[in-house]
Amino acid sequence: MGVHVSLVHVTQVGTSPKGRRLRHMDTVGRSGDTFADLCARSGFPMLRRVDPYNSQILTSQDMPQFISELESTLRDEEDVRVVTLLNEILTLAERCVSQPGLEIHLDGD
């Protein structure tokens, strides 16, 4: 099972969850099984919580820890494909921090 990583812009009209509107801004291509496997064997708490069967939403408040864990994983990685994938996810995470209303959605299959 894979995990798909997307950057989503959220607008909220009123306080009801029905007023929540999502607009997909960007997606990491073909992250699926590679990212799910990486998270499953990770020793980092946030990455370990990524579930290949469910969805998880990360807000800008989650980004410092998420970015830190991705950077630590990146330092130990030797596979060029995984390094490229992690860099793409880091780019989305950095955008999430820098622009209000953005979230990272980690969607399992």
pLDDT tens digits, residue range 70-82?
A: 999 999 999 999 9
Question: Is pLDDT of 1 > 80?
Answer: no
Tell whether 68 is covered by a domain: yes
pLDDT tens by residue, 30-62: 766 899 999 999 999 999 999 999 999 999 999
Where does the chain have alpha helices with state H? Answer: 32-40, 45-48, 63-76, 80-98
Split into its structural domains, the chain has a count of: 1
How far apart (Å, rounded) are the C-alpha atoms in residues 69 and 63?
10
How far apart (Å, rounded) are the C-alpha atoms in residues 34 and 36?
6
Tell whether 9 is covered by a domain: no
Tell whether 14 is covered by a domain: no
Residue 89's domain comprises 26-108
